[in-house]
Amino acid sequence: MAHFGIVEARFYDEFNDMLVAGAKAALEAAGHTHEVTTVPGALEVPGAISILSDSGRFDGFVAIGVVIRGETYHFEIVAGESSRGIMALTLDGLPIGNGILTVENEDQARVRADPAQKDKGGEAAKAAIRLYDLGQMDET
């Protein structure tokens, strides 16, 4: 059994609730434990994961959040930089499933976040579990 950190960028409550529910369900179904840490936005997720990983309490992470395109270039910065930060941590060996949605509108976010539809929170948790399992293969 592993212990996972779910790090959520709490900006869109409705969508976050669904993403976190999907992630928790997938982790629990696989027999793993979890705890949730909340940060203000997607840009803070990689930093929070980095800080939490130093604690030694977590075996892997699930990044959760929603970035919806607006009228400015801010969307591209937030979407790209949060993803880049998560990928850098993953390449350093941290098992992280990226469940930060980058969508055009709320309808797309709803479909992707809903555990009864695309369940991207659950998919991110399953990705984190798979990366964790791969890392355990090195130790045997």
Q: What is the pLDDT of residues 60-102, one digit of tens each?
A: 999 999 999 988 888 899 999 999 999 999 999 999 999 999 9
Confirm whether residue 43 is marked as ligand binding: yes
pTM: 0.95
pLDDT at position 71:
85
pLDDT at position 46:
98
Alpha-carbon distance of 18 to 97, in angstroms, equals 16
Confirm whether residue 105 is marked as ligand binding: no
Query: If DSSP codes are grouped into helix, strand and coil, which group holds residue 12?
Result: coil
pLDDT at position 31:
98
Residues labelled catalytic: 74
Give the DSSP letter of residue 42. Answer: G
Confirm whether residue 35 is marked as ligand binding: no
List CB contacts of 87: < 8 A, sequence separation 6 or more.
98
Could you say which of 3.40.50.960, 3.40.30.10, 3.40.50.450, 3.40.50.300 is the CATH number of the domain covering 3-134? 3.40.50.960
Could you give the C-alpha distances from 24 to 3, 31, 45, in angstroms and in order? 11, 11, 17
